[in-house]
Amino acid sequence: MPSVFTARALLLDMDGTLVDSDAVVERCWSRWAVRQGLDPAAVLRVVHGRQGHATMAELLPHRPMAQNYAENAVMLAEETADLEGVVPVPGAPAFLAALTGHPHALVTSAGEQLALARMGAAGLPLPPVRVTAERVGAGKPDPEGFLKGAAELGFAPEECLVFEDAEVGIAAARAAGMRVVGVGPRAAAFGPSAHAASLEDVVVAAAGGVLTVTVG
């Protein structure tokens, strides 16, 4: 049975939700793992949805955070320059087209330049409201980004519906008091309010300032 939600605004993660950037993430973070003497597969299980310095802190807990921030700046530049294989998630162009003129925001752990680069490489329009890594004090799974996105759009948390693919993002949405649609193969395991294999399984209709979202 399809799941049907009504909302006043949608809050959208980027990587894994709108943009398939797995190829870049795997290349960059696998190289980083090898440099640190870590198992790349173990690193890739942790990295999705987090800010880079938070991933480093999780994997190397005894390392000074200043080193993580410095290394993350290098990593961000590397990821921003590497756009090979960055494509839209199936259904993303039509999904975003359906949101044109309706309240929605991008809430991503990526920095502004990385978000611009990846959305551009995928040929996707940028939402007018964007909450990127530079704009929060605490990244996902902290709810700050989603709460900030809702506030900037002018809606209460319970009026918003989140789209996410990663465990930390789904946890952040829940902590913000929001319903969340899990997108893609990773998301189903993390207990979202509903799950879509891709955005091809999501239909958005708008009437009277209310968005009706059908999943499945």
What is the predicted pLDDT for the residue at 203?
A: 98
- Respond yes or no: is residue 15 known to be catalytic: yes
131 has pLDDT over 90? yes
List the catalytic residue out of 15, 22, 39, 142.
Answer: 15
- Respond yes or no: is residue 20 known to be catalytic: no
pLDDT in tens, 145-187: 999 999 999 999 999 999 999 999 999 999 999 999 999 998 9
pLDDT in tens, 71-125: 989 988 998 999 999 999 999 999 999 999 999 999 999 999 999 999 999 999 9
What is the predicted pLDDT for the residue at 112?
A: 94
Task: Compute the distance between CA of residue 211 and CA of residue 39 in angstroms, rounded to an integer.
Answer: 44
List the catalytic residue out of 13, 39, 82, 165.
Answer: 13
User: pTM for this one?
Assistant: 0.90
What is the predicted pLDDT for the residue at 191?
A: 95
What is the predicted pLDDT for the residue at 65?
A: 95
What is the predicted pLDDT for the residue at 48?
A: 80
Task: Compute the distance between CA of residue 101 and CA of residue 57 in angstroms, rounded to an integer.
Answer: 39
pLDDT in tens, 32-82: 999 999 999 999 888 887 888 999 999 999 999 999 999 989 988 998 999
